Chain A
Amino acid sequence: MNGATEDLGATLTFDLSRPGRIGCAVAAPDVPLSPLPPAPLLRDELPLPELSQLDVVRYFTRLSQLNFSIDTGFYPLGSCSMKYNPKVQEDIARLPGFAQLHPLQPAETAQGALALMHGLQTELAEITGMDDVSLVPDAGAHGELAGILIARAYHESNGGGDRQRVLVPDSAHGTNPATAAMAGFDVESIPSDADGNLDIEALESALDGNGDSVAALMLTLPSTLGLFEPQILRIAELVHSHGALLYGDGANMNAMLGRVKPGDLGFDVFHLNLHKTFSTPHGGGGPGAGPIAVTSTLAPFLPTPHVRRNPDGEFVLAAPERSIGRLGLFHGNFGVLVRAYAYILSLGAQGLRDISEAAVLNANYVQARLRDAYRLAYDRRCMHEVVISGSRQKAKGVKTLDIAKRLIDYGVHPPTIYFPLIVDEAMMIEPTESESKESVDAFCEAMLAIAREVEEEPDTVRDAPTRAPLRRLDEATAARKPVLRWQREDGV
């Protein structure tokens, strides 16, 4: 890699700085000069690095060559749906009419953008089988917060403001209990049964007698075990019979697209991750979008602004009558919405159905190929991801972390590990729908090879990675003694 394998992570642009070197000349001002602020407010020397353009281009290009991305390799990071994002979406998001909009320009001058948002609201309502949609939330967990605040507002408007408990299965995404706690609710965990389903008896006992203190059950479907909940209709009935709401975490919706509508299952609120299911870029921390779909009962509580179409055809930004209010700046991550809408329209209804078919088929194929070498957490058909356990390998002295690191040597991004928490030595593998049989096979071959290495040459696995630019990183010290920013030698 043309000399780029030196420890670039430890080299900063500050280290490459040479006094007086410049990257570009600032043009002479063509506006009248203003006086400077008072001297005490000014620093006369910012410690910024001084580099030429070429230095900067080489530095960041080399760093980017060390990056692992879906454009360079297989990325089965469970629960994250690291699938391929068709490039046509990027072309469309860059059209000047979308890219050069200003969020403060009058709505009558942005009718095309509002029509797109209205169209996306309509498509997502159809896909989820719900009555209305808000595009405001900027991430999945933000959608959860919006949904749970709506649940509170709904209960308050119905004399149920003292409903203080939120029930969360132990197979839910970790953000679910965090969201409920952040919104001020008391969180109670509901265990899973031996088959990986929600323990209905535990749910009944949590509801019996004091069900009127429960605001909502937050259910992830399919669960983080990669399993569909076959008792979902019974669960919805139980929750509703106590006046509580059923919240759905739809981060795994790529398993159900065009096959199952959450609205038909009894969900009252359901969030979607556009950056997972609807193929917008993610993995770098954002931006994302976590729209929520709701029943007509909850629609008046949706956050502001909500795109509506007046009888005369004009699109407006409205405040729903009992809105929980604003949750962020402007209108959400608009560029993400453009990409998601382009994705939905370019695929069409049959294309969306094909996604869920391929996602589920690929995960079950991985399950079938790995089932003899690794322990299956639950021996049943999975949905879009499969959870296996490295416990047999751990008994031989090789940890799941070692297996994950060894995958890097095989050119594969490691799967999600040690989650869900209820599976010992968990590996959560989501091949996604966009991978071919050949690439899924290559991953399975790597996993099988590593299982053989655990038997025959365990140190090879324990020492991994050996073929990556850097060897095993000391994650424990990084967490115990984090160095959060660079400091000059003089401490500035």
Chain B
Amino acid sequence: MKIVFLVLCSLLMSAQALAVTIEFPEEELARESVLPVFENATAVKSRLVPTAKRFELGIGGGFAMNEPFFETARFGGHVAYHFNETHGILLNGQLYADGLGNNGKSLANTDLLPNSADTTYLRMEFAPQPAYHFFANYQITPYYGKISVFKDFVMNLSLYGLLGLGVVDIGGETTPALNIGMGQKFYFSKKWGIRADMGLMAYEGVNFFKASNGGSSPLADSTVAGSTPFVASQKTASEFERQINYDLHLSLAVIILL
């Protein structure tokens, strides 16, 4: 059960006010959790953070949770427009940090045939790397609420879902992608707050272990007899077999409502 104490005292703490301890009579405290009846009851009125017909700008970063080879960090921003309190559109993009991640580096320097006289390396440093993504999302916000962080500090929040179409750039080649996600915004005031997003992106990525013709990986640098000599140059996505990749990512952004 929740009780709301009306802090009009901030207005009323005038010079004449006395410091007293107010003990609310038991019979005045909430005894039931039922709601008053209205014709079309809405959960909240006079919202502190109205979003309808407002733009939202955001800037922030995040990381991929299941990226195996490359750096996982990403940086970007977004622009959103809210048609009303529930529906909106969100355009977002992120640039990916350049370079191999620990796994990628480790793979690049590991002989895949350690117990043999021959050697095989997968030269990941020449692999086409995802560089950025951009999405146009539909955003639905079914929940707006508030949370009491401290006794004197209440924060508004909202939960939303995203569904969008976009592109992912892999080594200079763009490929279509689908994004589904959800997130939560925490508002510090009417104008600004933070948002945390979690999304799952599906796109036509590359299989680094196979060439587009079904042969061995263009990244394979092997001394095994009959193998193609490795040419040390940056590979393109089209040289690899294509496959659907799934990218699970988290991001955090500072937002401002205009």
Mutual binders A and B: no
